Amino acid sequence: MQKIVLVMIWLMGMVYADELSGSKQIIMVTTKGWNENSGILQRYEKDDKGWHKVGKAVQIRLGRNGLGWGRGLHTIPKDAKYIKKEGDGRAPAGIFTLKQSFGYAPFEVKYPYRVYKETDHCVDDIHSKFYNKIVDSTKVKIDYKSKEHMKFPKNYYKYGIVVNHNHIDEAGAIPGAGSCIFIHIKEVPTAGCTVMKEHEIKEIIRWLDAKKHPLLVQGTEEVVNTLLRQIK
């Protein structure tokens, strides 16, 4: 059993290494400290000459209580003071792949994009088998008491991007480690998402290229500088 576990860990490490070295697009979000709920977003793209900035820096808001180490492609430090948990009001720090973008209506972009409706829910109930999954509530047997509607009267999710924190929409999500993390529209601190103005998120979605394996690198300035060393 121990040998099997060690092999699985080694294989996972190989997958993570491939995703890190294969990325040619980075969304970098930095803050001044762990308890700050605002920061700067800057895009970067890699070409034959190396990494270069794309577009202007964007003022963003994130978790109302700042940051906590999330679960992604990085390793959480053993001495980490802040680790992301369900309901803690912190955005995840670390390196994360991005999944589909989404919105309330069709949007002509090259990046994978999904239109959500009122009956689509992101489940944040830690006791549900659908925890940290986006489900069509008309097609599943509901076992959850808490969820987020992926479409509602306010424009917060009019455009957004799913961040692959804690294995959203896939096997392996750890109950209580944080769920339903997105990049989306809003101008005030959130429960854990990274947010900006509508025209800013639309520009990012238009820029994203699935073939370039985009990543979100998020944390304090010190943390981000350390994380970037893992990306060749």
Tally of CB atoms within 10 A around 142: 14
Alpha carbons 103 and 157: distance in angstroms, whole number: 6
Residue type at 11 in one-letter notation: L
Domain count, the chain: 1
Alpha carbons 184 and 206: distance in angstroms, whole number: 14
Residue type at 107 in one-letter notation: F
Alpha carbons 139 and 154: distance in angstroms, whole number: 25
pLDDT tens digits, the chain, 232 residues: what are they? 444 333 333 334 434 455 677 899 999 999 999 999 999 999 999 999 999 999 999 999 999 999 999 999 999 999 999 999 999 999 999 999 999 999 999 999 999 999 999 999 999 999 999 999 999 999 999 999 999 999 999 999 999 999 999 999 999 999 999 999 999 999 999 999 999 999 999 999 999 999 999 999 999 999 999 999 888 6
The predicted model scores a pTM of 0.91
> Which residue range is the domain that position 40 belongs to?
2-228
